[in-house]
Amino acid sequence: MNPYYPHLFSPIRVGNIWLKNRIGMSAMDTCYFSMNGTLTPKAVAHYLERAKGGAGLIVTEISPIDWPHGKQSRREPCFNNPNVTPEWAELIQQVHSFGAKIIAQIGHAGFISFPEFNDGEQPVTAWADESGSNAVSGEANPARTITVEEIHYLLDKVRDCARNIESCGFDGIEFHAAHDYLLNEFLSPLTNRRTDEYGGSTENRARFLLECIQVAKEELAPGKIISLKFASCEEVEGGMTLEEGGRIAKMCEEAGANLIDCSVGQGPDGNATEAEWLPDGRRIPYATAIKPYVDKAVIGVVGKLRDPQMCEDSIAEGKTDMVFLARQMLCDPYWAKKAETGHADEIRKCLSCREGCFAQFRPKSGSIRCVINPYTGFEDKATEHNPGKAYEPKNVLVVGGGIAGMQAAIIAKKRGHNVSLVEKTDKLGGQMQLAGLPPYKQAILDAKDWFIAELARVGVVPELGVTITKEEILKRKPDVALLAVGSVPSRPPVPGIEFAEDGWDVLRDTVHYPENKEIVIIGGGTVGCEIAHTLIEKGNHISIIEMLPGLSLKQNMVHRQHNQQILDAANTDIYLENTVTEVSKNEIKCRDKEGNIHTIACDIVICASGQKPKDTSFATELRAAGIDTYTLGDATDTGDFRTATRSAMDVVMGI
C-alpha cells in the first residue's frame, strides 16, 4: 500500500486488464504525427515520457475513424490502414516495459472538423438544417447531415480501426463521445433532430455509439478495454442531463464498454479543456452521478485535476474509480511518480492558460507545447530528467531572475555547468510576480514558487539584490553570460504621457488599488485587459483605447472571449483602431481611423501599451572580451512565458 496516496496508487481491473494505479493520461491532440498519420520519433518520445512518469493507463490521441476525413487538426494518427501496425507494436512494448497499459482513441470530429484538413470536404454532423447549422455549430461552421448509408460506412471503418488496433497489441480502444465530436453530436438533443432510427429517443440517439462499441467488442480479444470519453452531461440549456447521461452509460456498459471517462458535451467555450477561471475538479460530481447507473464498468473523470490529494480523496470517497489527466501531463509528465514517492510538492502544476497547447497548434498549424515546461514536444531530444551532460562544464553567469533566467539556470546546472544567478531585486520571479495578481491568475504565482524551489533542488543559490554591470561581468570572467534581464514598459510618444501611470506599477501596488474612479487604459492587449479586470472588481469604470481592431489579439480565443465578457458586463467603453493623441491630468484624446477626435474625461490614465527589451547592447563588448554571451526571453524579443522558457532551453542545450 502506498503510504502517501493509498487509493490513488491501488491497482484496478478494467475488463481483464489490470492497471497498476488509478491514473490515466487522457487523449490530447498533439500534431506530432506525420502527414500520413504514422508515428514519428517525437510522438514516440512523448508517450514514453508519460509512461516513465508513472501513469497507469495511456490513451493515445484521437485517430479519425475515416482518416483523413473527420480530422480537427492537421497531423492526427491513422488506424484504418494496416500498414501502421509495426511502429505502434514497438511503442506498445516499450510502454508495457514501464508497467503502463495503452489504448487507442478513435472518433470523428463531426461539425468541428476543418475542411482544409479533410481534403476540402464539407464536415458532416448528426443533423443540420439547410444552412448547414444546428443549435450549437451556427452558420460559421457549416456542415451537412450524415446519411444512414454513411453511418454504416463509418461502422465499417470502425471495424477496420479496431482490427488494426488489436493487431498492434493495444490493451484496448476508446471512443471519443464528448466535446462536440460526432458521437456526442448524435447523443445530444441539441444537435440531433433526426427522425430516423438514429434520432429522437435517447435509445435512438445512442444507437450509433452502441453500434461502435459492439463492433469493437467483436474485433478485440475478450476482456480488452473498451473505453468512452463520455459526455456525461451538457452544460447548456436543452442539452443532455446527468440523468440521461447515466441511462446512456448503462446502455454502453450493456453493449460492452468497461471504462467510462466522464467529461462534458456541448457547452460554453472553455468547458471542454477547463479554462483558468474554472475550479479544479469541477467534473468530479458528474462522475459521481454516473456511477450508480453502471454495475461493473470503471468510472473515471477528466478535467483540471492537478492536486494528488484531491484525486486521492475522490477515489477514497467513492466519487470516481479513476482520474484522467490531460494538460497536467504535458506540464509535468512525472506527476504520478512524484506523488507516488512522496514528492507531490515538486509537481509543476498546469496554468490552464491554453497558450502553450491549444494556442500553438490550432490556429498556427504547429505542435502542442507547454509554457512552463519547455521539454514538451522536444522529448525526442531532451527531457527534464535527462537533458544530457555538457561535453565540457563551464562557468555560466545568468543575469536576471525572471522565468527565463531561472529556467536557464536550472537546465545549465542539470547539464553539469557551474552556475551563478544574479538578480538585482530582492525577489525572484520577474514579471511572474505581476502576471499572477489579476483575477484567476494564482496558478502563475504557484509556478513562480515552483521555479524558485527547483533552483534550490538542483543546487543554484541566487544572489539577490545585486545589480551587475558590464564591468562586473568582465571582472567575474564567466565562460558564458546569459542576459535574461527582461523588458521595460513602452510608452507612446504623445504630449502629456507623463500624466499616465504605468500599468505594472498599478498592479504592483495591491494595497492602494483605486476604487470607484473613471479610468482610461492605453492599450488593450492581454496586460491592459487584465488590469481592467483587476480594477473592475474595485468598482471602477474602465475605458480602453486600442490601436488594433480587437482586444487581446495575441491571447488564445477562449480566454480572449472571456476577457470580452467581463468587460461587456462592466459596461466598459472600448475604442478600437484608435490612436492616443494627447494626455492630460483629467482627460485623454484619441483619434479613430476616420480621423475623428474623441475626448474622454477620467480620474486616472494607465499606460499598458506594451514592452520593449532592456538594453543589452553591451553584449557585443562581452563577446569581444571572449565571453560567450546570449540574450534570453524578453531581453531578445518581448513574448510570453513559453518563448521565455523555450529560449532558455534552446540556448543552454547548445553550451
Angle between helices 641-652 and 403-414 (to 10 degrees): 30
Number of Cβ within 10 Å of residue 13's Cβ equals 12
Burial (CB count <10 Å: 0-12, 13-18, 19+), residue 280: middle
Kindly tell me the sign of the dihedral angle through the C-alpha atoms of 22, 28, 32, 35: positive
CB 178 within 8 A of CB 264: yes
C-alpha cell at 35: 502527414
One-letter amino acid at 416 equals G
Alpha-carbon distance of 172 to 218, in angstroms, equals 12
Is the distance from CB of 607 to CB of 500 less than 8 angstroms?
A: yes
22-35: b (≥16 Cβ within 10 Å) or e: bbbbbbbbbbbbee
Strand partners, 322: 300
- CA 24 to CA 336: how far, in whole Å? 9
How many C-beta neighbours within 10 Å does residue 628 have?
Answer: 16
Residue from 256, 20, 263 nearest 158 by CA: 256
Residues near 493 by beta carbon (within 8 Å), at least 6 away in sequence? none
Rounded distance between C-alpha atoms, residue 513 and residue 392, angstroms:
51
| C-alpha cell belonging to residue 340 | 507516488
Contact 579, 593 (CB under 8 A): no
How far is the C-alpha of 376 from the C-alpha of 330, rounded, in Å? Answer: 6
Q: Is 455 left (phi over 0), alpha (psi -120 to 50) or beta?
A: alpha
Task: Give the three cell numbers for residue 256.
Answer: 460492452
What's the rounded Cα separation, in Å, for the pair 102 and 620?
Answer: 52
Q: Is 181 a catalytic residue?
A: yes
- Shortest CA distance to 516 belongs to which of 531, 533, 537? 537
Asked if residue 108 lies in contact with residue 66, where contact means CB atoms within 8 angstroms, the answer is: yes
E-strand ranges in 326-430 read 395-399, 418-423
Instruction: Name the β-bridge partners of 69.
Output: 66
Which of the following is catalytic: 5, 32, 47, 181?
Answer: 181
Tell me the helices (H) and strands (E) count for the chain, helix number first.
Answer: 21, 27
The contacts of residue 9 (CB under 8 Å, 6+ apart) are 2, 21, 22, 339, 340
Query: Is omega for the bond preceding 68 within 30 degrees of 0, making it cis?
Result: yes
Residues composing the chain: 655
Catalytic residues: 181
